[in-house]
Amino acid sequence: MSKQNIEINYIDSIKEKLWKSCDEMRGNVPSEQYMHIIIAIIFLKAMSDKYEKAGEQIRKKYLNDGERKWLLAKKDLNLLKRYDVQFIVPESASWSNIQKYISKEEIGIKIDEALLALEEQNNSLKGLFEKNFSREDLDKQRLSKVIKQFSDINFSELKEDFIGRLYEYFLGNFFRKQGQNGGEFYTPQSIVELMVALLAPDSDSKIYDPACGTGGMFVQAKKYLEKHKKDITQMRVYGQEFSSTTWKLAKINLILNGFDPDDTHLGSKAESTFKEDLSGFEQFDIVLANPPFNLKIWENENASDDPRYKWGLPPTKNANYAWLSHILYKLNENGRAAVILANGALSSSQKEELSIRKKMLEENKIEAIISLPDKLFYTTGIPATIWIFNNNKLNDDVIFINAENLGELATKKLRVFNTENINEIVSAYNDAKLNKDFSIKGFAKRVSLNEIKENDYSLVPGRYIDLLEEEVDKEQLKAEILEIQNELKILFKEFTDLIPDVEKSIEQAIKFADEQEKEK
């Protein structure tokens, strides 16, 4: 086994061990609050380990300058940033201080106090954590056991992306367990990987997500840049989220994944993108979004005066085209976007939606449509579609890709794309951009705007991609027909055998009815 595989297996074993320990602690704590409890533990441990390591390095540097100089240096945030530390961790919030209260009843109170001290020391963390550790229904002995498990691992000694991967692993597990009741604000990783790979951001890209959920799009964009050996220091991300709880999760996610707070802009509050666009007049190179499907209520009171809806007013009872309009409006002159929406948006004949789709096509904004398989999301089993916008298209064709048969089932209810699937889709998209006659039977095709007009501006890939003719195995087909024939014979015999009993029951019912009539 290679050194890399050994390292991956070791990291995976740590994640599984910590998850098992945390899952056992839950007890009667409500799911969402329990999630925040675990995330706060991860954050405290990560920040404490990184700060302690930086403090030791600073101590060695100032060894000859006296203890006072070293203690002052430990609180110099500009100096700390050189050691990849973004926050000052006061003694009361240090992991070593929390460890003192293992197996003691007040451990919950002390963790709440640690979180409060961390917020008071760092303005950008104010109000980020819910102080839930002193709650009565949280078993303090189980909590102590979790603290012990985390104490065995020094996060600062592991690969620098471990903390972010651990957080992502825990989030995925939380939302997977909640199923239909959770995951609304979390896009599964394989879909995010595909969307980022399709747009291939550059090191200086300004990236935006108007429904950012837990911030997964930004994290994957950063991973993409790192994988392709690109400078990430110029990367700037902007996002908005209407759920206060999820907005906090996103901020924590970006911090744990090494984003500089100065280059991350998630707004000063959680707010609806339609009600108030917190990014103002900013426009972006890249937009990545998985907004809520078929949102029935959205803030549209002043939509008629809103420049975001210059392609037409979206219907009041479905926000799909409001999202498309907002996202397209937020692109700069060379901007590109990848947006996931429910399939119904592709061919809606609703007056306003058809009109908007027609204008976007005729203004040459829609570059590609990629239909996805079902079971890709935790919250819904319905299939969806990725829309790709490009403000700098060189032709008026649209690329259609049918990915409905790709992916593999990770569980009975969840499908994922593997690396081969992602590469196949991205390659087809990139090749189609360069070849006017591009076509792969049953999978992808580049289509002219005129042909789309002839189909009433429908964007359903099945209208344009030729069906793949499957080779028929005649012997297998014959065997299947014989099997069905035998099943029908068995069913017919069972039905025939039941006829005497049915006739007898009918006779008894008639006889009973006659007797009742005579008694009257």
The domain that holds 19 is classified in CATH as 1.20.1260.30
Question: In this structure, is residue 165 part of a structural domain?
Answer: no
Whether residues 416 and 482 fall in one domain:
no
Q: What is the pLDDT of residue 183?
A: 47
Tokens describing residue 33: 């609050």
The residue out of 103, 125, 160 marking a domain boundary is 160
Whether residues 478 and 404 fall in one domain:
no
Q: What is the pLDDT of residue 520?
A: 60
Range of the domain at 20: 3-160
Question: In this structure, is residue 456 part of a structural domain?
Answer: yes
Q: Whole-angstrom Cα distance, residue 247 to residue 249?
A: 5
The residue out of 437, 463, 489 marking a domain boundary is 463
Whether residues 121 and 203 fall in one domain:
no
* Burial of 172 (C-beta count, 10 Å sphere; 0-12/13-18/19+): middle
DSSP for 95-153, please give it: HHHHHTTTTSTTHHHHHHHHHHHHHHH-GGGTT-S---TT-TTS-HHHHHHHHHHHHT-
Whether residues 277 and 308 fall in one domain:
yes
Q: What is the pLDDT of residue 3?
A: 47
Question: In this structure, is residue 89 part of a structural domain?
Answer: yes
Return the percent helix, strand and coil in the chain, to nearest 5. Answer: 55, 10, 35
Residue where the block lists tokens 């007898």: 504
Q: Kind of pairing, strands 444-447 and 439-440?
A: antiparallel
CB 146 within 8 A of CB 22: yes
Residue where the block lists tokens 């879909």: 191
Whether residues 309 and 369 fall in one domain:
yes
Question: In this structure, is residue 169 part of a structural domain?
Answer: no
191: Cβ–Cβ under 8 A, 6 or more apart, which residues? Answer: 290, 340, 372, 376, 377, 417
Question: In this structure, is residue 469 part of a structural domain?
Answer: no
Whether residues 82 and 135 fall in one domain:
yes
- Would you call 492 helix, strand, or coil by DSSP? helix
CB 362 within 8 A of CB 341: no
What Å distances lie between residue 336 and 68, 299, 361, 408, 426, CA to CA?
52, 25, 15, 29, 15
Q: Whole-angstrom Cα distance, residue 287 to residue 231?
A: 19
Question: In this structure, is residue 207 part of a structural domain?
Answer: yes
CB 140 within 8 A of CB 32: no
Q: What is the pLDDT of residue 81?
A: 85
**Which of 340, 97, 326, 132 lies closest to 217 in space, CA to CA?**
340
* Total structural domains within the chain: 3
Q: What is the pLDDT of residue 345?
A: 93
The residue out of 160, 192, 221 marking a domain boundary is 160
Average pLDDT per 10 consecutive residues for the chain, totaling 520 residues: 53 78 73 82 92 88 72 81 89 96 94 95 89 85 90 82 82 70 68 97 96 94 93 92 91 90 89 94 96 86 89 93 97 98 93 96 98 84 91 95 93 89 98 95 96 96 80 65 77 76 75 69
Whether residues 482 and 453 fall in one domain:
no
Tokens describing residue 244: 């206060």
Whether residues 437 and 312 fall in one domain:
yes
What Å distances lie between residue 219 and 108, 111, 237, 306, 371, CA to CA?
31, 28, 10, 31, 24
Whether residues 437 and 520 fall in one domain:
no
Whether residues 231 and 138 fall in one domain:
no
Beta bridge partners of 388: 338, 368
The residue type found at 461 is P
**Which of 155, 147, 120, 347 lies closest to 258 in space, CA to CA?**
155
Q: pTM of the full predicted structure?
A: 0.83
Q: What is the CATH number of the domain that holds 259?
A: 3.40.50.150
Whether residues 223 and 144 fall in one domain:
no
CB 369 within 8 A of CB 432: no
Q: What is the pLDDT of residue 468?
A: 65
Question: In this structure, is residue 82 part of a structural domain?
Answer: yes
Whether residues 278 and 187 fall in one domain:
yes
